[in-house]
A and B are shown apart, each in its own frame.
Chain A
Amino acid sequence: GAGVSQSPSNKVTEKGKDVELRCDPISGHTALYWYRQSLGQGLEFLIYFQGNSAPDKSGLPSDRFSAERTGGSVSTLTIQRTQQEDSAVYLCASSLGRDSPLHFGNGTRLTVT
């Protein structure tokens, strides 16, 4: 594809439910990032994948958050037992490598009611 694709674009869920957010990076990009953007806030780093290396999970805010990247391509961010404070836009980005510019998708807007 031409860019980073994220789905769904919008997700409304009830408190306590689990959600899965999907990211398809640009073909050939070995690095993949997840960021969270809350209203009026900057982008908060969540997790980083680079090739077959162990991911940097240092930004995940709690153990309810997890992410995986299958086959070095598609990534899924899972939030278990969602809370209202999880409401935000979740952005995925990919790059050619650790020192290359990030290309962001349009995000998934998550609303927890």
Chain B
Amino acid sequence: QQQVKQSPQSLIVQKGGISIINCAYENTAFDYFPWYQQFPGKGPALLIAIRPDVSEKKEGRFTISFNKSAKQFSLHIMDSQPGDSATYFCAASKGYKLSFGAGTTVTVRA
């Protein structure tokens, strides 16, 4: 069964807009929540990650919001650019085994 549920499956945003991707998890033992970005034909690359002791982490235009009580976390991409068009995966782990969401394909229209 999928331990991390991700939505939406895809989204289209205008250049300069905000992209929001949501993930929910069940296993309260998870203590590491990374987001990966994948371009066609390439492997996923770590974008940003958070631990549950903080509610938000920002790196440039990318922000993770984390709600421990709701067991949810989300990725916000501010001022979206065409170069951000990619598939984004959320993940969660306790230890070494990452459980991934199904992915969100983001398309940024110029």
Q: How far is the CA of A101 from the CA of B33 in the complex (A)?
A: 11
| Distance to closest chain A CB from B33 (angstroms) | 13
Task: Please give, as numbers and ranges, the residues of chain B lying within 8 Å of A48 by CB-CB distance.
Answer: 96-97
Task: Please give, as numbers and ranges, the residues of chain B lying within 8 Å of A103 by CB-CB distance.
Answer: 46
| Distance to closest chain A CB from B90 (angstroms) | 9
Whether B102 and A102, one on each chain, are in contact in the complex, defined by CB atoms closer than 8 angstroms, is no
Whether B43 and A101, one on each chain, are in contact in the complex, defined by CB atoms closer than 8 angstroms, is no
How many chain-B residues does the 8 Å CB contact rule pick out?
A: 25
Whether A42 and B100, one on each chain, are in contact in the complex, defined by CB atoms closer than 8 angstroms, is yes
Task: Please give, as numbers and ranges, the residues of chain B lying within 8 Å of A42 by CB-CB distance.
Answer: 2, 4, 6, 89, 100-103
Q: Which of B34, B96, B103 contacts A31 (CB 8 A)?
A: B96
Interface size class of A (residues with CB under 8 A): 20 to 34
A56 at the interface (CB under 8 A from B): yes
B60 at the interface (CB under 8 A from A): no
Decide: A102 near B49, CB < 8 A? Known: A42-B2, A42-B4, A43-B89.
no
Q: How far is the CA of A48 from the CA of B36 in the complex (A)?
A: 19
B95 at the interface (CB under 8 A from A): yes
Decide: A101 near B34, CB < 8 A? Known: A42-B4, A43-B44.
yes
User: Which B residues contact A (CB, under 8 angstroms)?
Assistant: 2, 4, 6, 9, 32, 34, 36, 41-46, 49, 89, 91, 95-103
- Identify 7 residue pairs between A and B in the complex whose beta-carbon atoms are under 8 Å apart, listed by A's number: A42-B2, A45-B97, A45-B98, A48-B96, A56-B97, A104-B43, A104-B44
User: Which A residues contact B (CB, under 8 angstroms)?
Assistant: 4, 31, 33, 35, 40-45, 48, 50, 56, 91, 93, 98-99, 101-107
